[in-house]
Amino acid sequence: MKNLIYFLGLTILLGITSCSEDELDLNPVDSGSVDGFFTSTSDLVAGVNGIYNAFTGDWWGGAFVHVQPHFEAATENAIICCSWEYQYKQIAQGTMNSATGGVIRFKWDYGYQAIFRINSILEVLRSGTIEDLTPEISQQIEGELRFLRAYVYHHLTFLYGDVPLVQSVLTPDEARSIERTDKSTVETFMFADLDFAIANLNEQPFQGEFGRPTKVAAMTLKGQALMYRNQFGDAANTLAQVMALEGSAVQLDSDYESLFRGANEQSPEIIWSLQYVDNEVGDGEGNFLAAHYGPNQLDGTSASQGGGWGSFQYTQALLDEYYMTDGLPSDQSPLYDANNPFANRDSRFEGTFFFPGTVYRGTVLTENNFLSNGAEKTIKIASRKWKTETSNNSFSNNGAADFVLLRYADVLLMYAEAINETAGPNSEAYDAINKVRARANMPPIAEGLSQDQMREEIKHEREVEFFLEGTRYFDLLRWRDAQDVLLQVTEETRSFDPSKHYLWPVPQFAIDQSPNISQNPGY
């Protein structure tokens, strides 16, 4: 019996002493912690890489540059199938309000998520805690960070007008009392970032990694930012600097179609693009554009490899913009054949679209391959852009094509426009636009145009050149053309109120959290 008591006593003693409070100090198993992470340049670079995730994001969760081609649905050229696709339909129809959500919230939330990530890495960079950081690398990284920040503010100010100017990491309390900063102040800040980037980025991307901004990218972005703000003189000067590098750093690619389909992603025409790889290789690093666009009912497989939902119906107005190869609109050209309406058009038509008779993934497409969300399309065409010939881009986020944000054709057309607005339709303007047309095998534009006529030519050229790149919506806003153009649509009910719709509503959520943030007029 004594033995038993000793045994029990010992067990109890052992039991109690083995329970140390250290057992309550545990560490996460499958994720990291910010504290103490950033100690070397490679950690810092990983932090820079993490910023791009705010741009690419995820499918339904959103991103800063989300399904950018969907902006075509908010122009006269496409009708989006579904009101649930990120609320582009509400923008198109002028029914958006502060609670609309979708892309109207994505731009705000992910824009500021990117800005937080940029500012926090800038603070690490400047903290002096990275021991192996050389001044040269530090400048390049800072240039990249400030380029990205400028890109975000460029879009935010354009879409929302005045926005809070966040220059450093904010605490929640600081953010709760923040107000919108006057747009011009934000723009001044943005241009300072761009000038820093131009001065400090190299001609080659950091570490030679394609997809990081270069000096040329910074100059191009600055040119675009100036154009969007109607500062045509400065824009012309800036864009001229890019054009001076033609042949060395940049040039038009002879193969238009290849720029958008994954096979020629590092063409010298492409100045800056969002990088995607096939999901099967990269695990979540693919795009989700491919699922939205393109032909469907393909190659008779239940998995529909390569197919898309067909989010858009395209309008007759769009088709009419693709002139015949003689440079004339279809209703004026003898080349137009009503029985074969897609033939003999501007080569960019076939560069941008599939239609019956074209070949996709080895299959000759038929009229059955053109549905929009299950409904037969009126005009049987489907996007060729963002559709690759090989990757497994069925209905998932594994499209492999990079999404082009800045390219040299845009530089040329912006330059033509800037010159036309400042000096009128001189030969520089003609040269720039005709260069873009020549690549598309289109004849030069007519000589002797007035400034207004030239402006219309440039608008037309931009519409055709950049279709499905999400450019035209921004152009219509900056030209203040939206109230005329959007209402021409007959395929669905549209409205556009020029007194309010040139700016988006500030998301209600942002106002709820920071009551000093005001709403835009009319919302």
Partner 1 sequence: MKLAKFVQTLLVLSGLLLSTSLAAQQKVTGTVSDVDGEPLIGVNVLVKGTSSGTITDFDGSYEVIIPEGGTVLIFSYTGFDNTEITVGNQSVIDITMEEGVSLEEVVVVGYSTQKKANLTGAVTAIGQENLRDRPLTSAATALQGSAPGVFVNQNSGQPGRDDVLIRIRGVGTLNNANPLVLVDGIEAPLSNLNPDDIESITVLKDAASSAIYGSRAANGVVLVTTKRGTDQEGVSFNYNGYYGITEAIRLPDIVDDAATFAELWNEAATNFGEPERFSAQQIADFRANSPNTNLFDQMFDSAPIQQHNFSVSGNSNKTNYRFSFGILDQDGVVPKADFQRFSTRLNLDTRVIDGLNIGVNLALTRGDRNGASEDLSAGGDASIIAWMSRTMPIDEVINSDGFLVRPNNGLVNGLINNARRDFNRIDNDILGSTYAEYEILDGWKVKGTAAINYRHYFQRFTNIALTTADPITNVLSTDPSAARSASRAAWNSLNITTWLQTTYEKSFGPHDIKFLGGFNQETSQTESFNGSRTTFTSNNILTLNAGDPSTASNSEGGTQWALQSYFGRFNYVFGDKYLFEANVRYDGSSRFKNDKWGVFPSFSAGWIISEESFFNIPSIEFLKIRGSWGQLGNQNIGDFRYARNLSLTQNYSFGETIAQGVAQTSLGNPDLRWEVTTTTNIGFNMHLLNGKLQLEGDYFTRLTEDILFDVPVPSITGFGSQILNSAEVENRGWELIASYREKVGDWTFSVGGNVTNVQNELKKLNKTLSGDDVDRQISQYTILEPGAPIAAFFGYVSDGIFRSQAELDAAPDHSAINPNFGVGDIRLVDTNGDGIIGPDDRQVIGNQQPEWVYGFNLSVGFKGFELSALVQGASNYYSYGYSHLFWPFDNSHGVDTRWLDRYTPDNTGASMPRLFLGQGPSTSVVNSFWLLDRSHFRLRNVSLSYTFPQSLIGSTFISGLKVYINGQNLATFTDFPFFDPERESGAQRASSSFPNLSIISGGVNLNF
Query: Which residues inside 81-100 make contact with partner 1, applying CB under 8 A?
Result: 82-84, 93-95, 97-99
Q: Which stretch binds partner 1 (CB under 8 A): 240-248, 319-327, 343-351, 368-376?
A: 368-376
Residues between 432 and 471 that touch partner 1 (CB under 8 A): none
Rounded CA-CA distance 321/282 in Å is 38
Contact between 178 and partner 1 by CB under 8 A: the answer reads: yes
Contact between 493 and partner 1 by CB under 8 A: the answer reads: yes
Nearer of residues 98 and 434 to partner 1, judged by Cβ: 98
The residue from 138, 161, 210, 237 that contacts partner 1 (CB under 8 A) is 210
Residues between 113 and 132 that touch partner 1 (CB under 8 A): 113, 115-117, 120
Q: How far is the CB of 90 from partner 1 (least distance, A)?
A: 8
CB 89 within 8 A of CB 83: yes
CB 303 within 8 A of CB 364: no
CB 289 within 8 A of CB 57: no
In sequence order, the 6+-apart residues with CB closer than 8 A to the CB of 251 are 268, 269, 408
Contact between 285 and partner 1 by CB under 8 A: the answer reads: yes
Q: Which stretch binds partner 1 (CB under 8 A): 128-136, 142-150, 182-190, 503-511?
A: 503-511
Q: Which stretch binds partner 1 (CB under 8 A): 68-76, 187-195, 294-302, 341-349?
A: 294-302
CB 219 within 8 A of CB 226: no
Rounded CA-CA distance 138/45 in Å is 10
Instruction: State the residue for tokens 């191009």.
Output: 220
Contact between 294 and partner 1 by CB under 8 A: the answer reads: no
- With both helix axes pointing from N to C terminus, report the angle between 427-439 and 451-465 in degrees, rounded to the nearest 10: 30
Nearer of residues 218 and 445 to partner 1, judged by Cβ: 218
Q: Which stretch binds partner 1 (CB under 8 A): 163-171, 249-257, 412-420, 424-432?
A: 163-171
What SS3 state is found at 282?
helix
Residues between 216 and 245 that touch partner 1 (CB under 8 A): none
Rounded CA-CA distance 100/93 in Å is 12
Contact between 108 and partner 1 by CB under 8 A: the answer reads: yes
Please report, to the nearest 10 degrees, the dihedral formed by the alpha carbons of residues 475, 479, 480, 485 taken in order. Answer: -60
The residue from 26, 362, 447, 499 that contacts partner 1 (CB under 8 A) is 26
Q: How far is the CB of 421 from partner 1 (least distance, A)?
A: 34
Q: How far is the CB of 140 from partner 1 (least distance, A)?
A: 14
Distance of alpha carbon 99 from its chain centroid, rounded?
Answer: 23
Rounded CA-CA distance 287/265 in Å is 14
Contact between 320 and partner 1 by CB under 8 A: the answer reads: no
Residues between 264 and 283 that touch partner 1 (CB under 8 A): 265-266, 275-277, 280-283
Contact between 362 and partner 1 by CB under 8 A: the answer reads: no
Contact between 25 and partner 1 by CB under 8 A: the answer reads: yes
The residue from 347, 373, 422, 520 that contacts partner 1 (CB under 8 A) is 373
Q: Which stretch binds partner 1 (CB under 8 A): 247-255, 298-306, 352-360, 467-475?
A: 298-306
Contact between 12 and partner 1 by CB under 8 A: the answer reads: yes
Rounded CA-CA distance 156/507 in Å is 12
CB 319 within 8 A of CB 312: no
Count residues contacting partner 1 (CB under 8 A)? Answer: 107
Residue 66 host element (H or E): none
| Number of neighbours of residue 378 by Cβ within 10 angstroms | 13
In sequence order, the 6+-apart residues with CB closer than 8 A to the CB of 88 are 70, 71, 73, 74, 80, 102, 103
CB 412 within 8 A of CB 432: yes
Contact between 147 and partner 1 by CB under 8 A: the answer reads: no
Tokens representing 80? Answer: 């989006």
Q: Which stretch binds partner 1 (CB under 8 A): 140-148, 175-183, 439-447, 463-471?
A: 175-183
Contact between 58 and partner 1 by CB under 8 A: the answer reads: no
Closest CA to 380 of 356, 414, 344: 356
The residue from 143, 164, 351, 505 that contacts partner 1 (CB under 8 A) is 164
Query: In terms of DSSP bridges, do strands 353-354 and 382-383 run parallel, antiparallel, or are they unpaired?
Result: antiparallel
Nearer of residues 29 and 338 to partner 1, judged by Cβ: 29
Contact between 56 and partner 1 by CB under 8 A: the answer reads: yes
Nearer of residues 19 and 338 to partner 1, judged by Cβ: 19
Nearer of residues 358 and 373 to partner 1, judged by Cβ: 373
CB 220 within 8 A of CB 158: no
